[in-house]
Chains A and B, each alone.
Chain A
Amino acid sequence: MTIDAKLKSIVATVMGIPESMISTDLSPDLLEKWNSLRHMNLVTAVEEEFNIVFEYDEIVQVMEYRILEEIVRRKLEG
């Protein structure tokens, strides 16, 4: 599975939405279910799946699907 596919499947599971709903600009503003609790669950699941650790600043930044993907890619490459 590609990074994108894995991430989409995680976001879909954590948010409880179909993958088709996930666009690059998906954010807590567009998706009401994306509350602070689900945000924490998302970070936990992504960290475990890719074996990476977010800095606290990064957790705060991840307020859009596009940014999440960017940070994950940067960490995997770095």
Chain B
Amino acid sequence: MKYIDILTEHEALSSKQTGSQFRISVLSNITTNQIKEILELSLFQEGINAAVQFGQFDNLVQDSAHQSEYDAVLVFWEVCETRDWLSTKIDLLSDLELEALYVHLVNSIDLMLKNLCNTRAVVFNRFSGRLFSDNALNKTRLEMLADRLNVYLEKIKPSNVTLVDLDRVYSIIGIRKCTNWRDYYNTKALYSVDFFQSYVTHILPIFKSITGNIKKALILDCDNTLWSGVLGEDGLGGIDMSSSTQAGKLFSEVQRIICSLRKQGVIIGLCSKNNEHEVNEVFASHPDMQLKSFDITIKKINWKDKVDNLEAIADELNIGLDSLVFIDDSEFELESVKSRLPAVAAYKVPVRLDSYPALLREISSSCFSMSGTIEDARRTDMYREQIARNNAKAEFKNIDDYISSLCLEVHVARNSCEVISRVTQMSQRTNQFNLTTIRYTDREISDRVKSQEFDIFTLSAADKFGDYGVTGLCILENLGRDQTVNIDSFLMSCRIIGRGIEYVFFDNIVEWIEQQNVESITARYTSSGRNGQVKNFYDELGFDCTSCQGKSKDYQVSVRDYRSRNIGYIGVTCDY
């Protein structure tokens, strides 16, 4: 994108930003100001109201002590400037002087990361001396210093820090396009605007993940998307995804990438205009298919409008349209999806097929790169079971009849260390059944699990179709006065809503609260624009609304007055 277009677009979007700001601070020992508009624009486009600010030039360590107001801190600590013009001076240093510099830097890193330990996300660039030795056969002293510092960083890296490999970014656009030597030698602006664009694209998934902006499902067309050729015309023997033919091998590779995404927990779906039994036959019997029918969680293979089909897919999976990525080879279908469902990330199979696998790898890193957990891999199975449940629904006379037939069992645990990463993930991803939509990092959750002031309750559920895993979360905050506890967060994964589980979970938590001799409970509903389904949750539970300000409503109930729902058809076990 041209720089002037970035500035124009940035200006246009910045006036439209609403909602709470996501504040990012850049700490740096070089001039990095031109990242501001580029980073803000990319985040605006993801629906994040970002505001980028800069610390004092070359004051990283000192500034790191005053970053509590920021949601994220970006660290550009260039090894070439750890001493003024070190890139050339380093060759003149004695071994002893160099060692002293290393020790000083290691101590500075320690202090800085200690200062930043409460920042939710620290994006820390790995050290690199590559810009000053792009064609050297042997490692320079600057590179060797950078390598040592990186080994140290890797060793002590706290969980709130993401290390970014600058060499990767250099290699994407070419190392010589990364710098502007005139600006470096005059204003210490080492990096070009081209570099910042590439860098921002590279780190974007970090921000998407901590703001809960993550894609969950990959929906694919079939003909000329999963294989070469048109099934309805070329027949089972005519379509090609063989790893030994020119066109086929690209589709074979694409299918393997999709399989590995499935293994990471991405839901895979089909949305294709075809005869369903013919597509099923390809999955069942074509010897070159890498994808198997069990990889596919949901399919809409019919002659209906793809927009309707995608809406139905989102609906059945109970996820937002903005959680879908869609790939098709037809310009017509893509335009229709892009214009009518702008929330769906839609990609076209490239005309030059050789770049198709690269496109998938790019989608994989920009849309689906997230911290993988064991739960993730189970998730696609759970969605498949969900669809089996929906189909079973039809056989019962009424919904209660159906729910009791599920033989639901839930387990409530308190302050369980084993599920910290799943708890974090839920706080980041859950949008609909989420009363306060407060996003937490691993670090924050693990601190709360250990803390006396907080109690974290998790709920796991299972029924006769399978195990849902950890799907409910409640964070209680012990206010320590007036015998009151506050519900900081209460959220449930959408795939288990509509069975009364949320009430059983809540009843159990209140029961525990009562055992602690607490008298009253306060709670809050904050509208996020996506959690409308729970706006009356506390009203339904008999809480009194005590105040209503802007997007938030505050509630209170006395423990004595709380009425349990006594739902009998769900079996409960507890571990507190």
Rounded to whole angstroms, the CA-CA distance of A25 and B186 in the bound complex is 26
Interface hit among A26-34, A36-44, A64-72? A36-44
Contacting B at CB under 8 A, from A33-78, are 37, 40-41, 44-45, 48-49, 53, 55-56, 59
Total contacts A-B at CB 8 Å: 35
Query: Are B8 and A40 in contact, CB atoms less than 8 angstroms apart?
Result: no
Q: Could you tell me if B3 and A13 are in contact, using CB atoms closer than 8 angstroms?
A: no
- State which size class the interface on B falls in: 10 to 19
User: Which A residue's beta carbon lies closest to that of B193?
Assistant: A44
B2 touches A48 (CB 8 A): yes
Chain A residues lying within 8 Å of B34, measured Cβ to Cβ, are: 40-41, 44
Of the candidates A16, A49, A56, which one forms a contact with B182 in the assembled complex, judged by CB atoms under 8 Å apart? A56
Known A-B contacts A13-B11, A16-B11, A37-B33; A44 and B3 likewise in contact (beta carbons under 8 Å):
yes
A10 and B189 alpha carbons, distance in the complex (Å) = 21
- A1-36 CB contacts (< 8 Å) to partner B: 10, 13-14, 16
Bound complex: CA A48 to CA B189 (Å): 17
Q: How many angstroms from the CA of A55 to the CA of B183 in the assembled complex? A: 10
Would you list which residues of chain B between 67 and 125 have a CB under 8 Å from chain A?
Answer: none
Cβ 8 A contact of B4, one of A10, A40, A53: A10
Q: Binding site of B, secondary structure by majority: helix, strand, loop or mixed?
A: helix
Complex formed: what's the CA distance from A37 to B189 in Å?
11
CB distance from A28 to the nearest CB of B (A): 16
Contact indicator B4/A45 (Cβ below 8 Å) = yes
Interfacial chain B residues near A37, Cβ < 8 Å: 33
Residues of B275-308 at the interface with A, using a CB-CB cut-off of 8 Å, are none
A47 closest partner in B (C-beta): B3
A36 smallest CB distance to B (angstroms): 8
Q: Is the C-beta of B312 less than 8 angstroms from some C-beta in chain A?
A: no
- State whether the Cβ of B549 lies closer than 8 Å to any Cβ in chain A: no
Within 8 A of A (CB), among B495-548: none
CB pair A13–B189 under 8 Å, yes or no, is no
B4: chain A residues within 8 A (beta carbon)? 10, 13-14, 45, 48-49
B7 touches A13 (CB 8 A): yes
Residue of A nearest to B54 (CB): A37
Contact across chains for A45 and B189 when beta carbons are under 8 A apart: no
Q: Convert B31-50 into 0s and 1s, putting 1 for each residue whose CB lies closer than 8 angstroms to a CB of A.
A: 00110010000000000000
Which B residues between 1 and 22 are near A, CB-CB below 8 angstroms? 2-4, 7-8, 11
Residues from chain B with Cβ under 8 Å of A16 in the complex: 11
Do B33 and A13 touch (CB < 8 A)?
A: no
Q: Which of A40, A41, A53, A55 contacts B7 (CB 8 A)?
A: A41
Quick one: given A10-B4, A45-B4, A48-B2, are A40 and B11 in contact (CB under 8 Å)?
no
- Residues of B contacting A55 in the complex (Cβ-Cβ under 8 angstroms): 182
| A62 to B360 alpha-carbon distance, docked (Å) | 46
* A13, A16, A49 pick with most chain B CB within 10 angstroms: A13
Q: Nearest Cβ distance between residue B124 and chain A, in whole angstroms?
A: 24
CB contacts (< 8 Å) of A53 on chain B: these are 182
B245 CB–A CB distance under 8 Å: no
Cβ of A59: which chain B residues have Cβ within 8 Å of it? 186
- Verify if B187 is at the interface (C-beta below 8 Å from A): yes
Interface string of B177-190 (1 = CB under 8 A from A): 00000110011010
19 more CB-based (< 8 A) A-B contacts, given A13-B4, A13-B11, A48-B3: A13-B7, A13-B8, A14-B4, A16-B11, A40-B33, A40-B189, A41-B3, A41-B34, A44-B193, A45-B3, A45-B7, A48-B2, A48-B4, A48-B193, A49-B2, A49-B4, A53-B182, A56-B186, A59-B186
Chosen A-B contacts, 15 in total, with CB atoms closer than 8 Å, are A13-B4, A14-B7, A37-B33, A40-B183, A40-B189, A41-B7, A45-B3, A45-B4, A48-B2, A48-B3, A49-B4, A53-B182, A55-B182, A56-B182, A59-B186
